[in-house]
């Protein structure tokens, strides 16, 4: 009964359990001029068979994107690729996906996980980027270290997705008050919008959406010079409005059979995540 109730909520934010369901969701988004980034659910794998299954799922996903001419790239987590098993093994796995994506003129985004993985993720990304320029990274605005990381990534020429951050982190590592998180976000976004390589501004926050619109107008940043990003099932009407206004809009579309661990883990990590889900169940 509990699983059924959770799925009723989770399916609002997960496109389905199969690639076919995910493809259909992306086609619906594309019909409104909205791009996607497909995410095969899974993380923190502890054996190579699971990691190899994840790699195979991403290769299949890239094949579907090309076959169906979808406006979509892919996002993945390094712990899903075997980072906790062996770093070099993980690097090889992600490189395979980047090579397949490059063959279809596509792009791979490496998601950021909890702070225990931040430095390891950035180091692996920087090594990968030397050979694969079709890979990007995520920076979480609430971490104290993020300005230094953003400046380093701008110098590298890397494409960065900026988000607030969803993991529970201690005050020694992350800003806690929402007003301060927003201020950090705006500071980092201004760096990326003025100096970065096609940054992604990932937010559902009206304050940050308005700030971004005002910033690009005041600093003459072209709408095609960056993109807004949001989660699947969150503020769908707003997503369509932004696309209709000429902004590049991309939606993060998760799918797969690991929806329950993904959904429950996100809810456990921060009380704000529970409030976020409840707030956006009925919001357009």
Closest CA to 280 of 205, 221, 213: 205
Other beta carbons within 10 Å of 220: 7
Place of tokens 């997960």: 14
Question: Any idea what the Cα angle at residue 10 is, between residues 175 and 174, rounded to 5°?
Answer: 10
Could you give the residue numbers annotated as active site? 111, 161
- Whole-Å CA distances, 46 to 57, 254, 271: 17, 21, 27
Nearest Cα neighbor of 164 from 184, 144, 193, 149 is 184
- Cα gap 36→98, rounded to integer Å: 17
Assess contact for 78 and 124: CB atoms under 8 A: yes
Helices (H), the chain: 2-10, 19-30, 48-67, 87-103, 118-129, 146-156, 178-195, 206-218, 236-244, 259-269, 271-280
Tokens at 136, concatenated: 């990007």
Distance CA 21, CA 5 (A): 20
Report in angstroms the alpha-carbon separations of 183 from 151, 171, 189, 248, 275. Answer: 17, 16, 10, 23, 21
């Amino acid at each position: 009964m509990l699983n059924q109730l959770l799925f009723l909520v989770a399916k609002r934010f997960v496109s389905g359990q199969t690639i076919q369901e995910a493809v259909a969701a992306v086609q619906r988004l594309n019909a409104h001029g909205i791009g996607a980034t497909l995410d095969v659910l899974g993380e923190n794998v502890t054996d190579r068979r699971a990691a190899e299954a994840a790699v195979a799922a991403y290769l299949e996903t890239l094949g579907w994107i090309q076959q169906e001419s979808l406006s979509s790239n892919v996002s993945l987590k390094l712990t899903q690729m075997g980072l906790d098993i062996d770093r070099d093994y993980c690097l090889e796995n992600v490189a395979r996906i980047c090579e397949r994506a490059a063959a279809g003129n596509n792009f791979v985004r490496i998601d950021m996980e909890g702070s225990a993985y931040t430095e390891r993720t950035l180091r692996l990304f920087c090594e990968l980027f030397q050979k694969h320029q079709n890979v990007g990274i995520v920076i979480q605005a609430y971490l104290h270290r993020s300005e230094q990381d953003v400046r380093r990534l701008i110098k590298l020429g890397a494409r960065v997705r900026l988000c607030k951050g969803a993991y529970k982190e201690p005050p020694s590592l992350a800003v806690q008050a929402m007003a301060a998180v927003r201020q950090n976000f705006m500071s980092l976004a201004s760096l990326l919008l003025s100096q970065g390589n096609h940054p992604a501004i990932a937010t559902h926050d009206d304050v940050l959406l308005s700030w971004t619109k005002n910033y690009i107008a005041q600093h003459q940043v072209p709408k095609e010079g960056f993109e807004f990003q949001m989660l699947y099932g969150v503020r769908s009407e707003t997503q369509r409005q932004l696309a209709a206004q000429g902004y590049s809009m991309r939606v993060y579309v998760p799918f797969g059979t690991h929806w329950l661990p993904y959904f429950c883990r996100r809810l456990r990590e921060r009380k704000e995540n529970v409030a976020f889900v409840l707030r956006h169940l009925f919001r357009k």
